[in-house]
Amino acid sequence: MGGFKVPTSIQTPDEEAKHRLNRIIDQDRDKLIESVQELVRIRSVKGDPKPSSPFGEGPAKALDKALEIAKDLGFRAANLDGYIGYAEHGSGEDYVAVLGHLDVVPEGDGWEHPPYSAEIHEGKIYGRGTTDDKGPAIAALYALKALRDSGLPISKKVRVMFGTDEESDNADVSYYLKREKPPFTGFTPDAFYPLVYAEKGIINFDIFRDLFEKTSGVEIHNIRGGVAANMVPDLAEAEFTNSDVDGLIRSCIEFADKTGYDIKAEKLGDSVVIKSIGVAAHGSTPEEGKNAIMQLMSFLGTLPLDDSSDISKAIYSINKMVDMETDGSSMGLALEDKPSGKLSLNLGLVNMTDEKIIFTINLRYPVTFEFDDVINPLKQIIKDHGFWVENLKNHNPLYFPVNSPLVKTLLNVFNEHTGSEEKPLAIGGGTYAKEMPNIVAFGPIFPGEPMVEHKPNEYIKIDELVLSTKIYADALYQLAK
């Protein structure tokens, strides 16, 4: 026995593969950062379509740049007419996919560092798209590079894909699926770690009521509020001409006192404008906001309106159907399940014209329910209240059982790399995983980190960018080996 040395730790083949990939990624750190910066400097907000740039110039330029980076790294790359593109490695019919996106939402105001200069401060790259989703998309590309350079054997092809219409209609993915077969398995790096195994179904629709009969007494000229169906509105306004201007102002003050709502009346020449201020939040978590439109409706419901007028009927009905609720219970939609919780309802927009009043609703239903479970009771109650439905769009829920191979593999990889014991997540939904078959959302937001996407001062921490690259490389290896 003398002289025989027992190793203190034995590496499994998987651990050895992980270390090999990690070493390559550490060497590529500077190039990875530079590539992310190059892409962030392109303002890829959706614009007017042109030939070969179906979502406007910005997204098309970003796609060209990403594919140029991929080619410089030595990959085969393809551009599907400006809709979507990919870099790939390996051979075979089946492929593992990572699907990120290069389009961004508009920058908005309130930036400390310019939104498209990709400045680095205190270990963070700042800019629109750093986290959502250019950073993670480029992390996936460098993960593929590490996998190739490592020489680790894989049995399937791997494709890193760059979409350009994620923030709007996902027309990039529909275009792709008409031309290419869907991936065998994979992920989209565009939500949370450890991973998302359940995404609620989403229904967007307008309900409207015709306004034939004008109201007498209080004359409402205009009602408007909200910016998007999937945002809790933080501002709504109604404009009046009224013989009793002072009475209206008094009612508003009393109502604000009683309810605590931020709502006030301002005199504007002959008319009065009622302004309701709420708290904005994402449409998937309406309970975290305060709906300015519904505050306003609630106030309007207390006024002595002419009961026979269409506008007063509309106000009465919307208060009965929605009120300040965010779970749809008054619409007969109190659905709930174990994996994903309660249905959520957000009334995001209101618009009044001479002919009609239109409300836009964003509704997210639990993953074990079907479209019909929601739409049948919904249509009935809307009809009972004299409203009509239009512009309805449904996205079915996404649900992978917790013990499915994809969920188990990704969860394992994440927990291994971070030394944690996280459980998979269910969310209100809305990632590419709903559109592209056989994938789930995997990263890039680490547990406990703030959500910076769609906000001013969006950033990605460089250490997290590098860690994500390592996690994605290992995940690709595990899925493709």
Least distance CB 100 / Zn ion (angstroms): 8
Six-digit token string for 116 = 């498209």
Q: By C-beta, is 106 or 153 nearer to Zn ion?
A: 106
User: Active site residue: 88, 132, 165, 166, which one?
Assistant: 166
Q: By C-beta, is 88 or 133 nearer to Zn ion?
A: 133
Least distance CB 132 / Zn ion (angstroms): 4
Three-state secondary structure readout of 125-181: EECCCHHHHHHHHHHHHHHHHHHHHHCCCCCCEEEEEEECCCCCCCHHHHHHHHHCC
Residues at the site binding Zn ion, with contacts judged by CB under 5 A: 132-133, 190
Q: By C-beta, is 103 or 310 nearer to Zn ion?
A: 103
Least distance CB 425 / Zn ion (angstroms): 16
Q: By C-beta, is 133 or 325 nearer to Zn ion?
A: 133
CA distance 210 to 233: 23
Q: Would you give the distance in Å from CA 347 to the centre of its chain?
A: 17
**Count of CB atoms within 10 A of residue 268's CB?**
10
Which of 343, 336, 293, 290 shows the shortest CA–CA distance to 315? 293
Least distance CB 129 / Zn ion (angstroms): 9
Least distance CB 133 / Zn ion (angstroms): 4
Query: Residue 335 in contact with residue 373, Cβ under 8 Å?
Result: yes
Q: Which residues fall within 8 angstroms of residue 408, CB to CB, at 6 or more apart?
A: none
Q: Is the dihedral of CA 345, 434, 461, 20 positive or negative?
A: positive
Least distance CB 188 / Zn ion (angstroms): 8
Six-digit token string for 28 = 């590529």
288 is a catalytic site residue: no
Q: Would you give the distance in Å from CA 444 to the centre of its chain?
A: 13
Least distance CB 166 / Zn ion (angstroms): 5
Q: By C-beta, is 18 or 434 nearer to Zn ion?
A: 434
Q: By C-beta, is 191 or 331 nearer to Zn ion?
A: 191
CA distance 237 to 266: 11
User: Active site residue: 28, 88, 103, 474, which one?
Assistant: 103
* Cis omega (within 30 of 0) for bond into 182: no
Alpha-carbon Rg for the chain, nearest whole angstrom, is 26
What are the angstrom distances between the C-alpha of 219 and each of 226, 239, 242, 351, 441? 22, 8, 6, 16, 50
Q: Which residues fall within 8 angstroms of residue 471, CB to CB, at 6 or more apart?
A: 193, 413, 414, 417, 443
307 is a catalytic site residue: no
CA distance 267 to 173: 50
Write out the catalytic residue numbers. 103, 166
